[in-house]
Every structure is written in C-alpha cells, then in structure tokens.
C-alpha cells in the first residue's frame, strides 16, 4: 500500500531462554569466548519507554522489535506491547516469536491457542506471523531445537485457525537436513507441512540446515566430519546443503528441498 514508513529497530531484551544448536545463542555460553551473553535478560519497562521516547522524538512511527525472544516472558511482553501501543508507535514486526508463546500453558487448556496474545499482537499492528516449526519430528526438536515446542501437545490446526480468525497472514518455516536426520523424518516433516497448508497456512518455507560459525552445531559438525577441519565459512551458501557425510547426501537434500 501507500503507507509512509518511518521505522526503527529496538531491543527490549537480550539472549533467549532456548539454546537451539543451530542458533548463535548456543555458542554464547559460560565457556565460550564471548562469555554467557546468550543468557536471557531483560530491560526494565522504564528503560524501554525512554528508548521509545527518543525514537518518537526522531520522528519514528513504527518499530521493529529485534529481541531474540520478545515473548520469552509472556506477561512482560503483553504489558510492553500494550505500553508501546498507548505510546503511539506501531509495531511492524518482532523477531523470536516461538510457537509455544502463542499457546496456553495452564493444565486445563495446555496447547490450545492463546487468543489474548494473538489479539494483542493484532491490535499492536501485526499483520503476519511466521511459525518456526523447524521440524515435525519430536526427536529432532528435542536434540537440535532444545525442545522449544511439543508437537504432540500443540493444537496446530487450532492455532492456525485462530491466527486466521484474528486476521493474520500465517506462514511456516521448516528446516531439512540435520546431520543424522533420516529420509523418513524429512518426508514426515514435508507431509506435516502439507497438512498444515490444508489447515490454512498461507505458505510453507523450506530451508536447509546451516552449521553457522559460532553455533554448537558448527562445532559438532566439524568434530564429527560433517565439515572439513579447514572449512572456509565464507564459502557457505544458504541455498546449498553445506555439510557432508549426512544421513541423506547433500545433493539429495537439495533436490528434496526444491521439490518441497
């Protein structure tokens, strides 16, 4: 549309409560060169409001919240989003929204859509949510994604329906080609994506797993022969299967991704 954007980025927290092995957070632990900078810590509400005032004085109208996990503390996030809204700024988008944050946690309704959070995000200016499924295999989620969502206990058809009811465009991201991921596990994830498209997902995006330098996955891939010892990270390409000696060969992984 013709809406004029005057936006800026800001962060209300640093780090993440999850430590997925393919994320930089996993390489920012106590024993790392960087130190424990991946641990989750937050700015006070007053600090966030001060920063928003500075942005507003500069003429900013929309903000992109770059937190690795804005919803890491759900009650705090709800409170902050309400304050940002009252402050007169529109939230263009946020980083680090995980599936678990959009579901209820109480025993009676565990795994059901959290309409309060969805409506709040909508009221604050959200237009689209991308769900980071990563995989549809519990083993993969547990091993590589620090168990950040429970596939069996999450009502995903219900969540997708709820997102559409609120008015969001909804996409899903999937990762293929973890080092020991079997062909059957990969095809199961692709079938899961198809099923979620039937439920109303607007698009499904497939990416090949990348062992980026600074992550736990990079160190493990180097140690286990999935990357050569003299591997040059500058040669890494996000559209390529960059690892070798994986359960499914790299050339086949690229073919499967393209077909998906």
pLDDT digits (tens, 9 = 90+) for 108-124: 899 999 999 999 888 87
What is the pLDDT at residue 1?
56
Question: Which H helix or E strand runs over 13?
Answer: strand 13-14
3-class SS of residue 43: coil
Q: Retrieve residue 201's tokens.
A: 């997902």
What is the side-by-side strand order in the sheet with 203-208?
Answer: 128-134, 169-176, 203-208
Residue with tokens 């620090």: 146
What is the pLDDT at residue 70?
85
State which residues of the chain have pLDDT below 70: 1-3, 93
Q: How far apart are CA 41 and CA 14, in angstroms?
A: 5
* Closest to 211 in 3D by CA, of 251, 178, 253, 259: 178
Q: How far is CA 145 from CA 42, 52, 83, 213, 229, in A?
A: 22, 33, 31, 17, 25
What is the pLDDT at residue 201?
97
192 touches 176 (CB < 8 A): no
What is the pLDDT at residue 102?
95
Q: Whole-prediction pTM value? A: 0.88
Q: How far apart are CA 94 and CA 80, in angstroms?
A: 13
pLDDT tens, 43-78? 999 999 999 999 999 999 888 888 888 888 888 988
């Amino acid at each position: 549309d013709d809406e004029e954007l005057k936006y800026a980025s800001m962060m209300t927290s640093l780090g993440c409560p999850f430590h997925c092995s393919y994320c930089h957070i996993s390489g920012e632990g106590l024993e790392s060169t960087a130190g424990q900078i991946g641990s989750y810590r937050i700015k006070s509400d007053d600090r966030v409001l001060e920063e928003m005032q500075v942005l507003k004085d500069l003429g900013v109208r929309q903000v992109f919240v770059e937190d690795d996990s804005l919803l890491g503390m759900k009650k705090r996030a709800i409170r902050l989003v309400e304050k940002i809204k009252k402050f007169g700024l529109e939230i263009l988008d946020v980083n680090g929204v995980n599936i678990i944050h959009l579901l209820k946690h109480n025993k009676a309704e565990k795994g059901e859509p959290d309409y309060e959070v969805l409506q709040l995000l909508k009221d604050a200016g959200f237009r689209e949510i991308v769900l980071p499924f990563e995989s549809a295999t519990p083993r993969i989620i547990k091993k590589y994604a620090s168990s950040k969502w429970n596939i069996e206990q999450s009502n995903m058809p219900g969540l997708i329906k709820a997102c559409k009811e609120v008015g969001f465009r909804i996409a899903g991201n999937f990762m293929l080609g973890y080092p020991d991921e079997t062909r059957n596990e990969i095809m199961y994830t692709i079938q899961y994506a198809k099923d979620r498209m039937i439920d109303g997902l607007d698009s499904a995006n497939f990416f090949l797993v990348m062992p980026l330098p600074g992550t736990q996955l990079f160190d493990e891939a180097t140690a286990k022969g999935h990357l050569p010892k003299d591997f040059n990270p500058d040669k890494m390409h996000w559209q390529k299967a960059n690892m070798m000696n994986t359960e499914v060969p790299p050339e086949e992984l690229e073919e499967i991704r393209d077909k998906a």
